[in-house]
Amino acid sequence: MSVLEVAGLRTHFFTRAGVVKAVDGVDFTLQRGEVMGLVGESGSGKTVTGFSILGLVDPPGRIVGGSIRYRGEELVGAPDERLRELRGNRIAMIFQDPMMTLNPVLRIDTQMVEAIQAHERVPKKAAWERARDGLGQVGIPSPEERLRAYPHQLSGGMRQRVTIAIAFLNAPELIIADEPTTALDVTIQAQIIYQAQKVCRERGAAMIWITHDLAVVAGLADRICVMYAGRIVEAGPTDDVIDRPLHPYTVGLLGSVPSANKRGQRLNQIPGMTPNMLALPKGCAFRERCARAGDACLAEPGITEPAAGRALRCFHPHGIEVPA
Amino acid sequence: MSVPLIEVRGVTKHFVKRLDLAGKIARRLGADVDEEVVHAVDAVDLAVRPGEVVGLAGESGCGKSTLGRMMAGILPPTDGEILFEGIAASEMSGAQRRAATLAVQMIFQDPFASLNPRLRVEQIIGEAPLVHGLVDRGGLSDYVDDIMRNVRLDPALKRRYPHQFSGGQRQRIGIARALAVRPRFLVCDEAIASLDVSIQAQVLNLFMDLREEFDLTYLFISHDLSVVEHIADRVVIMYLGRIVESAPTEQLFSAPRHPYTQALLADVPRLDQRKHDFSPVAGEIPSPLDPPPGCHFHPRCPHAMPICRTQQPVLREIAPGAFSACHLDGNSGT
């Protein structure tokens, strides 16, 4: 059974200025031990997708349709108590800003022991030992000492490691990581990715890595979903999506990444800017920035499966090489 | 070789945290408290030739922004000299100094914080050229239109306020403001870091176009090595206030010499390297309050030798145009 099955998820925000369809029809499934990269620019709905899975969408936002099944169990509309049982226990989240996750006035050990005891009847000493081992596993030197520290005494990379350790404390089956390395330096980013990758492999946990940086998930994810204006416009195995992108937006995104073979040349930029979510164009939301758009794009493109394991929402995809 | 457009010699910046009252009293009473000194930039030499794009990269806290701000003239160095076209700032006449100040402009990271929210775009762009007599009041409107077109902004939007623009457009306004005084040297401090990937590409392309149109010279500061690799002719890597390596871009990325550069490059995620096992460099950047003695990188360096702990390696030319500060390169440290 797949760990997570999201089908037709729609999360809308009912603001005074109008309805923002932040997530508008997202489908994907996640198998045990699989790492999925959810890629998109700001405002594409990738974070709201993560929040919806955890039931963390606050008013004026609301899940208005679709289903989220964790091991077959429907989470949309599930009682708060059940969601609280799952959150931080079976499903964990790592946020972008570790200072938002950690309580600044509590010591690290207090917060970690609390996270364990909230879900399990464990004596304090055993919980403390588990917290210590958890810190060791994410590469924190002298974990006993660090447990007695307050968050402000740790560096940014250290704090993010603590939040990863907390996320993994109860051996969750699903981890949602929302841009956990965006605020960090490359060397620290590499360390965090390394630790997350290692712990996932050892525990067989599935992970959704939300990011705007295709290069990060290229080295990490098994599968990539590209989001644009609240929808997944392209999905598939990492190598396929990066080597043979089909959707013009994915092609544009890849062309925007500076890499060695294009040194000194103009980048293949996408014209225009991300659309206003309050006034999305009719039909394909990417239409106005797309060079391949035609009259057909005035209608909404449905999901097609142009090759095994791939999904696409486009009437005019780039050439697809069919393996002989 | 031509005279460098801008050159810094032995430039040092220390930030001193003054003692508060309690600290002063404690010291009077004989307690062992001292003022904390952050060695942000430590005796750095760097020359930028006309027309060149120099990329300055390093982790946060390595002093790259401080060096950029000193070169832009908005932060006075604690020690050392800054020369513009071979003339030190201290030896310039008033007119020369004004010309030099105008010729060097800066573009900031945060397009939300660096634009005055109470001014219209035309005021933001037009204020400086008017004050400096580059344009008179009658020609100002056309001048602003021209500058806006240069950065691919619609002049029809010039009566608007900054909050009515998106992040990418605001960054263009910041670039327009810098261009309005016809600079020759631009310091871009993480100028595209806060933008979305597709907008980053647009602004990066704009920088490259402007370079050709206006014959600009850039110091491009970024923590993102792939951006630096893309735009720069020469790359300078800093670590804890010192330059550890400097080389033509091609050379630095294909054959990095300094162990720190090697580690940094290995950690950059790339589209063409997939599913690899990350093997990150150990440890974190030490506190600049108390940098390690000798080579600053030795606690994290896989090749550290006894000499690295005691003696600071000097930056030496190891190949034509390529400099590295490492004892592995037969560096005697003298």
pLDDT digits (tens, 9 = 90+) for A31-51: 988 999 999 888 888 999 999
Is A31:A1 a contact under the CB 8 Å cutoff? no
Q: Which residues fall within 8 angstroms of residue B41, CB to CB, at 6 or more apart?
A: B11, B12, B13, B63, B66, B67, B70, B77, B241
pLDDT value for B176: 93
Return the C-alpha torsion angle A273, A58, A64, A47, nearest 10.
Answer: 40
Chain B interface, best mutation among A39, A186, A270, by max B CB count within 10 A: A186
How distant is the Cα of A71 from the closest Cα of chain B, in angstroms?
A: 27
DSSP A207-237: EEEEES-HHHHHTT-SEEEEEETTEEEEEEE
Tell me what pLDDT residue B15 has. 87
Spatial contact of A94 and A177, defined as CB atoms under 8 Å apart: yes
Q: How far apart are the first and last CA of chain A?
A: 32
Give yes or no for residue B262 having a pLDDT over 60: yes
Does A255 sit within 8 Å of B201, measured CB to CB? yes
A1: pLDDT strictly greater than 80: no
Work out the pLDDT band at B29, boundaries 50, 70, 90: confident
Give the other-Cβ count within 10 Å of B60's Cβ: 14
Q: What is the pLDDT of residues B318-331, one digit of tens each?
A: 888 899 998 887 65
Q: Given a cut of 50, is residue B332 above it in pLDDT? A: no
The ranges assigned to domains in chain A are: 4-90+170-259+266-275
Q: What is the pLDDT of residues A66-99, one digit of tens each?
A: 999 999 899 998 899 999 989 888 999 988 888 7
In whole angstroms, give the CA distance from residue A257 to residue B229.
12
pLDDT in tens, B102-142: 999 999 888 888 899 999 999 999 999 999 988 889 999 99
SS3 call for B63: coil
Query: CA B141, CA A248: separation in Å to the nearest integer?
Result: 39
Residue A293 Cα, gap to closest chain B Cα (Å): 18
Interface test with A, best of B190, B197, B262 (most A CBs within 10 A): B197
DSSP at B75: S
Q: Strand ranges (DSSP E) for A16-97?
A: 18-30, 35-39, 61-70, 73-74, 91-94
Where does the pLDDT of residue A281 fall: very low under 50, low under 70, confident under 90, or very high at 90 and above?
confident
Rounded to a whole number, what is the distance in Å from the CA of B132 to chain A's nearest CA?
Answer: 34
Mean pLDDT of chain A: 87
Nearest in space to A224 (alpha carbons), one of A238, A209, A212 = A238
Helix (H, G, I), strand (E, B) or coil at A197: helix
Say if residues A172 and A142 touch (Cβ distance below 8 Å): no
Q: To the nearest whole percent, how much of chain B has pLDDT over 90? A: 34
Average pLDDT over residues A204-229: 90
Say yes or no to pLDDT of A225 above 90.
yes
- Alpha-carbon gap, residue B94 to B99, rounded angstroms: 9
pLDDT band at B333 (very low <50, low <70, confident <90, very high): very low
Cis before A60? omega within 30 = yes
Give the list of residues 6+ apart from residue B121 with CB closer than 8 angstroms, or none.
Answer: B148, B153, B157, B158, B159, B160, B161, B162, B165, B173
Determine the pLDDT at residue B279.
64
- Give the integer Cα–Cα distance in Å for A157 and A226: 27
Crossing angle, helix A156-168 and helix A186-203, to 10 degrees?
10
CATH assignment, A4-90+170-259+266-275: 3.40.50.300
The residues near A323 (Cβ < 8 Å, ≥ 6 apart) are: none
> Which residue among A219, A258, A259 places its CB closest to the CB of B274?
A219
- Mean pLDDT calculated for residue range B211-239: 91
Instruction: Quote the mean pLDDT of chain B.
Output: 87
Interface residues of A toward B, Cβ cutoff 8 Å, are 41-42, 155, 157-158, 185-191, 193-194, 197, 212-216, 218-219, 238-239, 242, 252-260, 262-264, 266-271, 273-274
The single-letter code of the amino acid at B156 is A
| pLDDT score recorded for residue A156 | 80
Contact flag A219-B278 (C-beta cutoff 8 Å): yes
Element containing residue B100 per DSSP (H, E): helix B94-103
Per-residue pLDDT reduced to its tens digit, B151-203: 988 888 889 999 888 888 899 999 999 999 999 999 999 888 878 888 888 88
